[in-house]
Amino acid sequence: KKVADRYLKREVLGEGTYGVVYKAIDTQTRQTVAIKKIRLGKQKEGVNFTALREIKLLKELKDPNIIELTDAFPHKGNLHLVFEFMETDLEAVIRDRNIFLSPADTKSYLQMTLKGLAFCHKKWVLHRDMKPNNLLIGSNGQLKLADFGLARIFGSPDRKFTHQVFARWYRAPELLFGTKQYGAGVDVWAAACIFAELLLRRPFLQGSSDIDQLGKIFAAFGTPTSSQWPDLVFLPDYVEYQYVPVPPLRSLFPMASDDTLDLLSKMFTYDPKARISAQQALEHRYFSSAPLPTDPAKLPRPA
């Protein structure tokens, strides 16, 4: 049975933050696509209009490192978003013990992530929910950011599904301190967590609650001082913390090169105003020094 007279539904790919994701065939292009079915509350008709207007903007967001939203339509009280189909995601790559990631491979994955981010940030669109399973990988090895802008349109993701609490591990300190005026820096912090995860092959800062998450951040980088982060004391959930001495970053990433540690520390800067931007990160010498990033087509992927 066709959906919207165009898409042939296949199997369920998974349950995501906003609803079920199906595999489908686009009968117009014969391409395989992924359709995300988003439950819309009946009482919120106004939200639907806003959502559709915002989604129109997302359709214009075209970049090699952003997953393309090819179609969007309401159907039986659900909003359907059609995306290009992707083979796997970065989480599967990181978790696969049979995959060896060389420094050049890690560099390539980070470069594609930052390219996608820089493009969206230039258009004033934030992701807000960056995590390895939102970084999809196509059959040609290209990494593309998924779910861009959805967090803003549909509100903070529904955290009732247990697997979604993992997003906490990628949350920037300003969000954990309750800031309401956050910017592109939240995505850069998350990208830094993903960079660290590529190096360690396990999530870097695994907090078990929001407070514990801050504790994990402080243990890694020391408690932020007011000279490091002048606006900290004005944040809604700010409380004074006991000083924790800073361990050298080198001790947490013993195998990393100096360039790696320098970029990592600039992305993990406490003050979002002082944090490196995605574009600046791409211009860091880490990307121009040897080893050069692996050609995406040659990156290792799960069998």
- Among all residues, which ones are annotated catalytic? 129
169 near ligand ADP, rule: CB under 6 A: no
Among 134, 179, 223, 294, binds ligand ADP (CB under 6 A): 134
Stretch of 131-139, 190-198, 217-225, 283-291 contacting ligand ADP, by CB under 6 A:
131-139
> What's the min distance (Å) between Cβ of 170 and ligand ADP?
12
Question: Any contact of residue 133 with ligand ADP (CB under 6 A)?
Answer: yes
Helix axes 103-122, 185-200, angle to 10 degrees: 170
Show the site string, 37-66: x = touches ligand ADP by CB under 6 A, - = not. ------------------------------
Residue 223 backbone phi and psi in degrees, to 5: -70, 140
The residue type of 59 is K
DSSP bridge partners of 32: 25
Q: Which is nearer to ligand ADP, 230 or 302 (CB)?
A: 302
Residue 86 touching ligand ADP (CB under 6 A)? yes
Out of 71, 105, 147, 174, name the contact with ligand ADP by CB under 6 A: 147
- Cα–Cα separations (whole angstroms), residue 69 to 22, 148, 221: 14, 10, 38
Strands, E assignment, the chain: 2-3, 7-15, 20-26, 32-39, 69-75, 78-84, 88-89, 135-137, 143-145
Under rule CB under 6 A, residue 16 binds ligand ADP: yes
Count of residues interacting with ligand ADP (CB under 6 A): 17
Rounded CA separation 111/230 (Å): 30
- Counted residue by residue, the chain has a size of 303
Of 17 and 113, the one with the shorter C-beta distance to ligand ADP is 17
Q: Whole-angstrom Cα distance, residue 145 to residue 112?
A: 9
Q: Which is nearer to ligand ADP, 34 or 184 (CB)?
A: 34
- CB of 62 closer than 8 Å to CB of 164: no
When CB distances to ligand ADP are compared, the closest residue is 16
Write out the residues near ligand ADP by the rule CB under 6 A. Answer: 13-14, 16-17, 21, 34, 36, 67, 83, 85-86, 89, 133-134, 136, 146-147
